[in-house]
Amino acid sequence: MRAILSLALARLYRGPTRWLLIVAGVAVATLLPMSAAATAASTSTKALAHGLAALPPGEQSLIVSYPNLAMEPDRLTGMDTQVRTQLAKLTRHPARAQMLFREMGDTAGGSFFLGAADDLASGVEVTSGRLPAECTPQHCEVILIGQTPPKMPDGLGVEIVGTGVRTDPLLLTGTFEPKRDIPLLLADGVAKASAIDALTAFQRQYGWVAPLDVERASADVPAYLDASRQAGDDLSRYSVGLHLTAPDEVLSGEHDRAQRSTRRFDLLSGAATALLVGFAVIGAIGARRDHRAVVALVRRRGAPARRLFTLTAVTAVIPVLVGTVLGVLLGLAVFGTTALSGTAVAQIAVTTVLAAVLLGAALSWAPEHPWRAVDAVVVAGIVIAAVALARGAVTVQAIGQRTDPLLVALPIIAIVCGGLLAGRLFPLVAPLGVRIARRLPGAAGLPVRLGLSGAVRRPLRAVATVAFLAAATGIVLFAGGYRATLEQGAVDQATFAVPLDVSVRSGQNLRRPLDVADEADYTQLAPGVLTAKVVRTTAGIRVNAAETKAAEVVGVTPDALTRIPAWDRVTGGDDAAHSAQLLTAAPPVRGWTVPAGTKNLTFDTQGPLDNLKITAWLRDAGGRDFAVELTRSGRQLSGDLAKATTTEAKLFALNIAETADYGQRRQHHTGEGGLDVPVLSGHLTVRGLGNTFETDYELATGRMVALIGATPETELPVIVDPVTATAASGGRLQFSVQGSAPVTGRIVQVLPRFPATGERFVVADVRALADALDAREPGTGSVSELWLSSSDPNALRQNLAKSPYDQLSVRSRAQVQDQLATDPLAVGAASLLWTGALVALGVAAVALVLLVIAERRDDAAELYAWESDGLTPGALRGLLFARATAVVAVAVPCGVLLGLLLTRLTTALVLVTAVGSTPRPPLALAASPLQLAAVLGAGVGLGLLCAGLVAWRSFRTPLPVRPEAL
């Protein structure tokens, strides 16, 4: 046994070149899963910071609050110590104590807030005057945050000594945020301000705020969340009402999202690892002839089979172990201990065992029917792939719980089977190349024919190189194609969220876009602004008499559909113009015209008006509904508009209701005495604006809507999702908003999805939908948001950030796309994909060089004989290069097909975006042919160039001169 071990070690030591290549291949194969693990760890930390950065400043903090009246100094000190102790468990940043009284009224009819903070100088910047210097129970100096000082009551004991602005984004934010545009007065020192005599009985909220420690939280998110819950429980037990507010849900959500996305990194690390193990096999094939000769020699000298097995095993295992150790050490040096997290250790172990087994088999195994073995491996791979695919796609939910085996199995199976099929194809195609080469001129065709004929006679090395090069090409195509798919997915997701350049909705003050500015004002914000009005509500879709399904009802300007980019990918439809045409509906002609500039409405009436409250409903040209409450004066009804109409408007309905007093009396009669009262009813005639309107009313429910100039309502053309379409009967469905009378919709198109909606939607023409909704409940058809497009989206976005538009919620498609593209998870995925592609290109080029070197070495006797027979050195060099070119000619097309197939399978089966969310719309295969061709051409061209240089440098030594005959 010792002799066998010494022989194996001596052979490795005496011929290190070919074994060093195997060591290098295994080392790089070990590095890839470590790189993926390290990238996943760092990406998770960055994803947490990215998610927290998107929060308002007040929510990027830990806040402890305690509502109470004035506290005794000792109790406040004890609570301060307890709070700081608990916060120190969660963050290394210091906490600031703060306090805020409830909103107070001043002597001028306004209001103000009074608060305090410790170390006030570090949280504000003085713009005029000075900082507060003292605060006693009788006299407390404060600084004004704002411009207009309040008229403070006498005896309050508060003096404004300066004005300033808050510089600490965490000062009185989050749960302490005072109302906007109301003066805020701040004293220096919570304990001092809490003792102001005049405010002893006033309610206030004590608080402590500290920045979130992202580094500590990201180190172990589950443990941090447990610590946060424990700290909150300890504070609650210390004092009832002491409450900790922390962004635990955001941390948990970002952590889960990072885990989902980074687990997808196994896609590329598995494929590239399989490729590099194959590279080790190619190196073994180069050493095969020499190793088998040694084994035969040892067998002839009487060594038993087990000793021969030991020789092969040691020869195969030692380079693999050395490569694994070098790869692990290099990975730890470059990436740190995080490189061994996740599934990295398991992948390294599998790689090591697999490389050793394949290396040993390549050195010694000589099956009687090798092609049958190849076919068996391919068939087995296809069966395994079929079983893996049968269990379904990789979803966000599935990948959130564990690493799905399909992520690892899919690329490895595809790469191995695809490469073997390409190699299986080479012996079938090479003879065809020989026949084609016969048509070439003699000087050029002979080297090609000889090179291809040699590859046909001894195909093992050429077949292995074809299989390897096809796999490498497939990985390059997969990396580039999947990266492009994820990038396009980000673009489509941004379009799905914001269909045009910008969407504008109500802000925190609930003012709608057309309440802030007229439609014409929006068109002046940037060049070429086009607006699309949107009405949005939720409705119940009637399935049968006892069942309804919820769906989002959206009314949109039909022309806006044609301005939505990538309509086919975003919605799954064919033609946006056709959809817009189907959706367009003629709204009923309804209402009286109200001229522009009208400030007051006056009507003459006939009929009973006692106990009636009548409200006129108008809609302006922009689609904004507004109410005018009419007051009675004799037989006249009149009401003032909140502001004069700037455009022509329509008076479309009167809301006739019983007065509050009458309604209360009726409820008392029926509820307490069980006695009924007459229902208000009658016939009402209204004259005004040059028109006359008559209606009968019966207020059985306390109110009714009388439509002015009503015309028969027609069916509403609608676009719906497939599930909502199943609730239709005869192509028609009914939906009800807020329990009102149902609206009948006629389905004109079914789309898998529609931008800016949920999974269940009903889309209609905004004008027709607004009329239908207002006919049932005036005001519900008012335009609730605007979609804007412009030839200069940046200018549009910048102007919408200015007053008065800053009151609104503005969302930009470019910003959403940028957030998705710069998300650390997306950046990490792209980086890892390109790393794998470059590694694949590098080893593919090396494989071509090794092919030429091995052919020149192993066929040296045959090449020397041909040269002796008169074949020129140039022809011999062409022969070697022809074999390398033939390998490329077969492997690259097969690799392209393999890469496209793997990318398509991954796109269809791995339902996870670059940022770890469910893709809406689904990912669609995207690949830039020019970019992929450039990258692939550079790699393969570099390989061929190197192979050509090796061939060109061959056969440069002149043959010995034949001695002259005597």
684 and 608 co-located in one domain? yes
Who wins on pLDDT, 92 or 472? Answer: 92
| Residue range 327-338: mean pLDDT, rounded | 85
Residue-level pLDDT at 399: 46
**Structural domain ending residue among the three candidates 690, 707, 724:** 707
340 and 392 co-located in one domain? no
Residue-level pLDDT at 671: 60
Q: Which of 415, 309, 362 is nearest to 29 (CA)?
A: 415
Scanning 914-956, the segments in alpha helix (DSSP H) are 929-952
90 and 193 co-located in one domain? yes
Beta strands, E only, 512-635:
530-544, 547-556, 592-594, 600-606, 612-620, 625-633
pLDDT in tens, 337-366: 877 876 778 778 877 887 788 777 777 766
Residue-level pLDDT at 966: 37
**Structural domain ending residue among the three candidates 755, 789, 823:** 789
Q: Which of 373, 362, 277, 349 is nearest to 315 (CA)?
A: 362
Is the per-residue pLDDT at 28 higher than 80?
no
| Res. 9 pLDDT band, cuts 50 70 90 | low
Residue-level pLDDT at 496: 92
Residue-level pLDDT at 207: 92
78 and 199 co-located in one domain? yes
Residue-level pLDDT at 250: 80
| Strand duo 625-633 + 681-688: pairing | unpaired
Residue-level pLDDT at 360: 77
Who wins on pLDDT, 942 or 414? Answer: 414
Who wins on pLDDT, 845 or 264? Answer: 845
At residue 671's C-alpha, the angle toward residues 669 and 676, to 5°, is 45
Is the per-residue pLDDT at 553 higher than 90?
yes
Least confident of 33-47, 100-114, 676-690, 722-736: 33-47
Token pair, residue 387, equals 């079983």
Is the per-residue pLDDT at 963 higher than 60?
no
Residue-level pLDDT at 130: 92
658 and 678 co-located in one domain? yes
**Structural domain ending residue among the three candidates 366, 382, 410:** 366
Is the per-residue pLDDT at 913 higher than 60?
no
Residue-level pLDDT at 392: 56
Helix H or strand E segment including 868: helix 860-868
Question: CB–CB of 749/719 below 8 Å?
Answer: yes
pLDDT in tens, 825-854: 777 777 777 777 777 777 777 777 777 777
Alpha-carbon Rg for the chain, nearest whole angstrom, is: 39
Is the per-residue pLDDT at 206 higher than 80?
yes
2 and 71 co-located in one domain? no
Establish if 695 belongs to a structural domain.
Answer: yes
Give the HSE-up count for residue 105: Cα atoms under 13 Å, Cβ half-sphere: 3
Q: Which of 624, 593, 617 is nearest to 522 (CA)?
A: 624
Q: What is the pLDDT of the chain when averaged over all its residues?
A: 80
561, 588, 749, 753 from 581: Cα distances, Å: 10, 18, 11, 18
Least confident of 87-91, 409-413, 657-661, 888-892: 409-413
Residue-level pLDDT at 709: 77
Residue-level pLDDT at 17: 61
Query: Which CATH number fits the domain that encloses residue 599?
Result: 2.60.60
Residue-level pLDDT at 444: 63
Find all residues with CB under 8 Å of 577, minimum gap 6, and list them. Answer: 561, 562
pLDDT in tens, 557-590: 999 999 999 999 899 888 999 999 999 987 777 7
| Res. 623 pLDDT band, cuts 50 70 90 | confident
Is the per-residue pLDDT at 281 higher than 80?
no
Residue-level pLDDT at 59: 72
Scanning 336-404, the segments in alpha helix (DSSP H) are 344-364, 370-390, 396-401
Least confident of 254-268, 502-516, 735-749, 756-770: 254-268
138 and 261 co-located in one domain? no
Evaluate the omega torsion of the peptide bond into residue 132 and state whether it is cis, within 30 degrees of 0: no
| Res. 391 pLDDT band, cuts 50 70 90 | low
| 657 C-beta neighbours (distance < 10 Å), count | 20
Is the per-residue pLDDT at 371 higher than 50?
yes
Residue-level pLDDT at 965: 43
Is the per-residue pLDDT at 403 higher than 60?
no
| Res. 960 pLDDT band, cuts 50 70 90 | low
Q: Is this model's pTM higher than 0.95 or not?
A: no
Question: What distance, in Å, lies between the first and last C-alpha atoms of the chain?
Answer: 57
Residues in the chain: 966
Least confident of 382-391, 785-794, 906-915: 906-915
Establish if 235 belongs to a structural domain.
Answer: no
| Res. 649 pLDDT band, cuts 50 70 90 | confident
Is the per-residue pLDDT at 406 higher than 60?
no
Establish if 509 belongs to a structural domain.
Answer: no
CA distance 789 to 464: 56
Residue-level pLDDT at 864: 74
Look at the block and give the residue holding tokens 């309050």.
Answer: 156
Residue-level pLDDT at 500: 94
| Residue range 55-68: mean pLDDT, rounded | 83
The helix/strand/coil state of 574 is: coil
pLDDT in tens, 69-117: 888 889 999 999 999 999 999 999 999 999 999 988 888 778 899 999 9
Total structural domains in the chain? 5
Who wins on pLDDT, 225 or 263? Answer: 225
Establish if 797 belongs to a structural domain.
Answer: no
Is the per-residue pLDDT at 396 higher than 50?
no
The helix/strand/coil state of 501 is: coil
Residue-level pLDDT at 86: 94
Residue-level pLDDT at 188: 94
Q: Which amino acid is at 94?
A: P
Residue-level pLDDT at 271: 64
| Res. 404 pLDDT band, cuts 50 70 90 | low
153 and 258 co-located in one domain? no
| Residue range 600-611: mean pLDDT, rounded | 88
Question: CB–CB of 810/504 below 8 Å?
Answer: yes
778 and 836 co-located in one domain? no
Establish if 226 belongs to a structural domain.
Answer: no
Establish if 808 belongs to a structural domain.
Answer: no
CA distance 112 to 123: 20
Residue-level pLDDT at 283: 64
Domain that holds residue 564: 530-588+713-789
845 and 931 co-located in one domain? yes
Backbone angles phi, psi at 511, to 5 degrees: -80, 135
Residue-level pLDDT at 734: 87
% of residues, the chain, pLDDT over 90: 20
Who wins on pLDDT, 226 or 476? Answer: 226
Establish if 596 belongs to a structural domain.
Answer: yes
557 and 618 co-located in one domain? no
119 and 12 co-located in one domain? no
Establish if 345 belongs to a structural domain.
Answer: yes
| Strand duo 636-640 + 600-606: pairing | antiparallel
Residue-level pLDDT at 561: 94
| Res. 39 pLDDT band, cuts 50 70 90 | confident
Is the per-residue pLDDT at 157 higher than 70?
yes
| Residue range 633-637: mean pLDDT, rounded | 88
